[in-house]
């Protein structure tokens, strides 16, 4: 499996070399993100039930699959709908000059107003209600007082806990006007996520997800982070299975109806190699080139797969399977 090279013709059909068209790394490169000041923990009313780990217990992980039906599935649907609504609310606030700390406050208030606890808040010591990953930050960026700049991109990752369930979703947003190359990175990442989800069905195995995502990203000249993946989710925030977004022939866990997990590929403009900041959370690309991510919580159905992290109107900033069914994806080579 070969990644599109810089001197190859761009996948868009322009006739130009990829490195001079949608793979123009000069147009994508931003000033390296510098950590800002992180504000204090935000309060959650005592009337909202938190996950067990908020009360000083270690976060529960599980080697068992999260499987839902009936009443437990209905509770999970609520948590996922809340997460989708919060993501949509925060996305509307992304703009030049806005700080990621402000986005965190918006999300926090949106969770509280819906009777939900922000799952990340105090999870293993994490100090904020969402993750905000700007430009070359791959994941787990901590909201702070750094203002977003015109031309940046930012991933907003939200997880809400309500009715005993976690719902997890994320999307990458452009800040003001962004370059065509960065827009392509965002579009390809969204489409790759949806293609990975669409590959899920009973009778198939877990490696179908990576087999859909990695070739699509490579065909458009982008890389895929190997070390971070999706996870089982439900009453447990992070559970089995680990969901790879790259091709692994050995990953033959079968999909079973009722299984719930996240699909959340991290796609890079350059190398997928990365490092962690001294805060112990923020993961950034070594080459400081931008990255993008989208995420949905999904359930395996009797026939195929269903995205759970949608609003009551069936929408999401992370996209829907209608994009796949309608074949309105980013042009293929």
End-to-end CA distance of the chain: 14
pLDDT of residue 63: 74
How long is the chain?
A: 333
> What is the number of other CB atoms lying within 10 angstroms of the CB of residue 11?
20
Beta strands per DSSP E along the chain: 61-65, 117-118, 131-134, 137-139, 153-162, 165-174, 223-224, 230-232, 238-243, 260-263, 266-268, 274-276, 283-285, 291-293, 296-300, 305-307
Helix, strand or coil for residue 122? coil
> What is the pTM (predicted TM-score) of this model?
0.96
Q: How far is it, in rounded angstroms, from Cα 161 to Cα 116?
A: 5
What is the Cα Rg of the chain in Å?
A: 19
- Structural domains in the chain, CATH included, are 59-325 (3.90.230.10)
Q: How far is it, in rounded angstroms, from Cα 105 to Cα 89?
A: 11
Per-residue pLDDT for the chain (333 aa), expressed as one digit of tens each?
899 999 999 999 999 999 999 999 999 999 999 999 999 999 999 999 999 999 776 676 767 899 999 999 999 999 999 999 999 999 999 999 999 999 999 999 999 999 999 999 999 999 999 999 999 999 999 999 999 999 999 999 999 999 999 999 999 999 999 999 999 999 999 999 999 999 999 999 999 999 999 999 999 999 999 999 999 999 999 999 999 999 999 999 999 999 999 999 999 999 999 999 999 999 999 999 999 999 999 999 999 999 999 999 999 999 999 887 766 667 655
Q: What is the DSSP letter of 43?
A: P
The pairing of strands 305-307 and 296-300 is antiparallel
């Amino acid at each position: 499996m070969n990644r599109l090279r810089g001197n190859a013709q761009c996948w868009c059909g322009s006739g130009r070399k990829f490195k001079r068209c949608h793979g123009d790394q000069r147009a994508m490169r931003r000033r390296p993100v510098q950590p800002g000041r992180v504000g204090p923990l935000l309060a959650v009313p005592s009337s909202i039930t938190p996950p067990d780990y908020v009360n000083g217990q270690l976060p529960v992980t599980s080697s068992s699959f999260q499987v839902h039906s009936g009443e437990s599935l209905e509770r999970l649907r609520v948590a996922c709908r809340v997460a989708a609504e919060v993501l949509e609310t925060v996305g509307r606030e992304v703009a030049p000059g806005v700080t990621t700390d402000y986005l965190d406050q918006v999300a926090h208030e949106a969770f509280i107003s819906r009777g939900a606890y922000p799952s990340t808040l105090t999870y293993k010591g994490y100090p904020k209600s969402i993750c905000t990953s700007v430009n070359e930050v791959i994941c787990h960026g901590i909201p702070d007082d750094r203002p977003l700049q015109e031309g940046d991109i930012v991933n907003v990752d939200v997880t809400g806990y309500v009715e005993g369930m976690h719902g997890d979703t994320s999307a990458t947003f452009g800040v003001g006007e962004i370059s065509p190359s960065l827009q392509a990175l965002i579009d390809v990442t969204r489409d790759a996520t949806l293609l990975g989800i669409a590959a899920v069905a009973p009778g198939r195995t877990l490696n179908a997800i990576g087999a859909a995502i990695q070739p699509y990203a490579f065909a458009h000249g982008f890389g895929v982070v190997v070390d971070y993946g999706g996870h089982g989710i439900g009453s447990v925030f992070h559970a089995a299975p680990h969901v790879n977004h790259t091709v692994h022939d050995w990953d033959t866990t079968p999909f079973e109806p009722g299984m719930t997990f996240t699909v959340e590929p991290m796609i890079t403009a350059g190398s997928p190699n990365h490092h962690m900041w001294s805060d112990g959370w923020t993961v950034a690309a070594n080459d400081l080139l931008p990255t993008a991510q989208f995420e949905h919580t999904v359930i395996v159905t009797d026939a195929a797969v269903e995205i759970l992290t949608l609003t009551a109107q069936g929408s999401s900033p992370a996209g829907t399977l209608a994009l796949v069914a309608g074949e309105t994806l980013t042009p293929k080579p």
